[in-house]
Amino acid sequence: MDTLNTQHSAFEKPIWNKEAALSRLGGNEGLLNRIVEMFLAQITEKQQALQKAVTEQDIEGVRFTSHAMKGVSGDVGADAIREKASSIENKAKRDDLTEIALDMQELDGLIERTITEMQS
């Protein structure tokens, strides 16, 4: 088992749940690699779009982009990003831009860590 995928405390989920993603794909590692490549190509773009929507206080843009980010993250097993994007989406539904701005800092770090782990 890849130790990078399991380095977390008892209270924290792995940053990238590669095993679960691979299981969902029937163990097809080639397919997982292609999906990871697509994810890596998209996630920074979605991160920038989300930041722009937050900066412009475009609550519908925040909701839409965080929902899309949640979906692509779930597809590849990037559970930490998926959970944070889901939290942001829920806060957007409540028009809570103050809390969203705080979540964005954490999301940025999660994205950076996930990219690093997927590329290693």
pLDDT for 12 beyond 70: no
8 — pLDDT class (breaks 50, 70, 90): very low
Instruction: Sketch the domain layout of the chain as residue ranges.
Output: 15-119
pLDDT confidence bin for 11, thresholds 50/70/90: very low
CA distances 59 to 92, 99, 120, Å, are 6, 12, 35
Global confidence as pTM: 0.86
Locate the DSSP E strands across 64-119: none
Fold classification of 15-119 is Four Helix Bundle (Hemerythrin (Met), subunit A) (1.20.120)
Q: For 38-83, what is each residue's pLDDT tens digit?
A: 999 999 999 999 999 999 999 999 999 999 999 999 999 999 999 9
State whether residue 107 is helix, strand or coil. Answer: helix
pLDDT score for 14: 84
